Amino acid sequence: MAHGGYTGKILRVDLTNRKIEIESHDDEFYRQYLGGRGMVAYYLLNELPRHVEPLSPENILVFAAGPLTGAAVSGQGRNGAGAKSPLTDGLGNAEGGGFWGAELKRAGFDGIVVQGRADKPVYLWVHDGQAEVRDAAHLWGKTSGETEDALHAELGDRAIRTAVIGPAGERLVRFAAIVNDRSHFVGRNGLGAVMGSKNLKAIAARAAPGKGRMEIANPAGVQAISKWMGSHLDLVAGLHEHGTARIVRSLSKAGGLPSYNFRDGHFDANEKITGQTMSATILVTQETCFACAVRCKRVVEVKDAPGWATTRDRPYVDPLYGGPEYETLAAFGSLEGNDDLIALAKANELCAAYGFDTISLGAVIAFAMECFERGVISSKETDGMDLRFGNARAMLALIEKITRREGFGDVLAEGVARAAQTIGRGAEEFAMTTRGQEIPMHEPRLKQGLGVGYAVSPTGADHNHNIHDTMYTKENDAVKSLRELDPEIRPVPANDLSADKVRILTANTNWMHLFDSAVMCQFLPYSPQQMTDLMNAVTGWGLEIRDYLQIGERAATLARLYNLREGWDSQGDTLPKRFFEPFKSGPLAGTGLPPDQFAAATREYYRQMGWDENGVPTRERVRELGVEWAV
């Protein structure tokens, strides 16, 4: 029987045969894999044959909470999901916030493993320790908001929480997202397309009123940490006031704001799209995730937008879909040379309604715009659209075409890497991807260790389980916190790629893999000791920091082993050549990633992880991690 923080039950759903079972796990299973990324890697390695086509019925889709999910403490309102990715052909894994993960746990399950494909659209109704597969033909084609409203009406309870796909997932757009509670996203790796390939429109979860209380080993310990966060909200005041978008201005000033498809690192019109500008103009309120006091989620509204098509019965930008965060503002803004904040807010609404990863969608449009401006494609290929940088109307029109897989939109719906191959004529030069996934909105010529992190990420380029070098350039709380993981950590410049920088990368990424297995928000200022105390208070395990760090390393190593099995090798642990070329203008003019130092840092990362020179985990390290079965 599992300790606190777990129900000990995983729901197994075979959609092909409409069969539902409940799988039980003991305490040792959870100590090894925890939840989130660790659990996803465990199931993919154990249950998927080699080289499964990601959009076939043979793929599995795993929803995984963590031990902290549903506890009454800020930052835990998240859940993980995973499958073989239709973008990378490797381990696909992402996390989303909101309330759905906590409700799944309260309804009786630590996770769900979905197999097969239904013969027609269905949804899964999970409640009070049981589940039903129900017809969803009437939901197919609906937006995420329409689907949520229909499920609330059909099931007679507006407190039901939902994880759904929109039309993008239904049409198997390779970067479709899963949408939690209408405005939170399990965004990366195309997991919405996997859900669509299974004809699974939604998962609705609800615990009976007054039931589903989470078991906590030491409630007083959890309460102490919750109280500490509540009394230190000043540490995250900027996050509350302006959201993640508060960094637009500072990144542009430093030369690290991705602009014009990563051609530049600064955007002259950045002030028009900052989080501060959004707060002063179109922000109407802030929302939050389950039990979180920070309330960082943006909610924006534009009732009337002169020059844009508006209607009398609804606002042009609907607050029901929240508002844009940093990645979205940068992806549809500076990356595309667009400074129209209203258009960016509308793009965010469409992504939420249709179910898109905003990073990949913004990046694929920016890629198309550069191809258009350089003459690789013309209006003949783009269905007559003038896809120049800064054309906000073309951006919004192209979102609609990609959603419908119509004309040129069908080419882009395959993602940047595949679209570049289809277009040819040198388009690959403008494809800013790693392992087939579009690169997030953080510039590796400013944050050079982050570039190495992009290259070695098990899910394709990712900014969350990564370092942001500018945090570790001087003695501060961030450096002191990492010393709890590795006492040899010391500050180094952002453009440093020495072994000391790799120490920071290795310690931080393994700890972030722990966060993604616990499924905990990475924006809150908990130290490693506080996280350890919190995990122990919930579970009752009594582990130490090094034990939890090893759980993160285990998750990363299992993911690497899965990817190697699927054909990845060290040759792919790199970045597009654009990042090795110096900026021609801006604050970082003349700065590019040094190729030899980058390659050496990558090899040093292998060494510190206990992998061989080809990036393969050694048998000794695998044995130390207790996962010899994975080899």
Say what the pLDDT of residue 402 is.
98
pLDDT at 1: 43
Q: Between the CA atoms of 132, 138, 140 and 146, what dihedral angle is there, to the nearest 10 degrees?
A: -100
pLDDT for residue 78 is more than 50: yes
The contacts of residue 389 (CB under 8 Å, 6+ apart) are 260, 336, 337, 338, 366, 369, 370, 373
Residues 36, 39: Cα–Cα separation, whole Å: 5
Question: Is 2's pLDDT higher than 70?
Answer: no
Per the CB < 8 A criterion, the answer to whether 491 and 530 are in contact is: no
E strands, 116-221, in order: 122-127, 130-135, 161-164, 178-180, 184-186, 200-206
Cα–Cα distance for residue pair 192/178, rounded to 1 Å: 5
Integer Cα distance of 100 and 90 in angstroms: 26
Whether CATH 1.10.569.10 fits 233-431? yes
What percent of the chain shows pLDDT beyond 90?
A: 96
pLDDT for 412 equals 98
* 210 CB-contact burial (10 Å; exposed 0-12 / middle 13-18 / buried 19+): exposed
Which CATH number is associated with domain 448-524+544-630?
1.10.599.10
- Computed over every residue of the chain, the mean pLDDT equals 96
The mean pLDDT value for 579-597 works out to: 97
Asked if 349 contacts 243 with a C-beta cutoff of 8 angstroms, the reply is: no
List alpha helices for 441-498, DSSP H.
448-456, 477-483
Q: Is the separation of the CB atoms in 79 and 180 below 8 Å? A: yes
Query: Mean pLDDT across the stretch 520-536?
Result: 96
| pLDDT tens digits for range 445-475 | 999 999 999 999 999 999 999 999 999 999 9
Q: Flag the least confident range among 77-81, 253-257, 302-306.
A: 302-306
What pLDDT score was predicted for residue 631?
A: 87
Vertex 185: Cα angle to 511 and 121 (nearest 5): 125
Cα–chain center distance at 391: 27
What is the rounded distance in angstroms from the CA atom of residue 275 to the CA atom of residue 67?
33
Q: Which of 521, 487, 519, 516 is nearest to 504 (CA)?
A: 487
Q: Is 576 exposed, middle or buried (0-12, 13-18, 19+ CB in 10 A)?
A: middle
- Span(s) in the chain for CATH 3.60.9.10: 9-206
Short-list 624, 547, 562, CA closest to 45: 562
Which pLDDT band holds residue 107 (cuts at 50, 70, 90)? very high
Percent of all residues in the chain with a pLDDT value above 70, rounded to a whole number: 99
pTM: 0.97
Question: pLDDT per residue over 393-426, tens digit each?
Answer: 999 999 999 999 999 999 999 999 999 999 999 9
Structure tokens at 363: 């990046």
Comparing 314-318, 321-325, 531-535, which segment has the lowest mean pLDDT? 314-318
The rounded distance, in Å, linking the Cα atoms of 98 and 624 is 36
What are the start and end residues of each CATH 1.10.599.10 domain in the chain?
448-524+544-630
Measure the CA–CA gap between 483 and 487, rounded to whole angstroms.
Answer: 4
- Ranking 305-314, 426-435, 543-552 by mean pLDDT, the lowest is 305-314
Q: What is the pLDDT of residue 311?
A: 66
The pLDDT value recorded for residue 614 is 97
Reply yes or no on whether the pLDDT at 50 is more than 90.
Answer: yes
488-526 in b/e burial notation, b at 16+ Cβ within 10 A?
A: ebeebebbbbebbbbbbbbbbbbbbbbbbbbbbbeebeb
Quote the pLDDT of residue 212. Answer: 76
Top pLDDT among 341 and 213 is at 341
Q: Identify whether the C-beta of residue 150 lies closer than 8 Å to the C-beta of residue 229.
A: no
Task: Specify the length of the chain in residues.
Answer: 631
Mapped onto helix, strand or coil, the DSSP state of residue 620 is: helix
Distance CA 301, CA 322 (A): 9
Provide the 3-class DSSP secondary structure of residue 109. coil
Model confidence band, residue 585 (pLDDT cutoffs 50, 70, 90): very high
Residue span(s) of the chain under CATH 1.10.569.10 come to 233-431
pLDDT digits (tens, 9 = 90+) for 230-266: 999 998 999 999 999 999 999 999 999 999 999 999 9
Kindly state the helix (H) or strand (E) to which residue 254 belongs, with its residue range.
helix 248-254
Q: Say which CATH architecture domain 9-206 belongs to.
A: 4-Layer Sandwich (3.60)
pLDDT of residue 3: 67
Residue 79 one-letter amino acid: N
Cα separation of 157 and 149, whole Å? Answer: 10
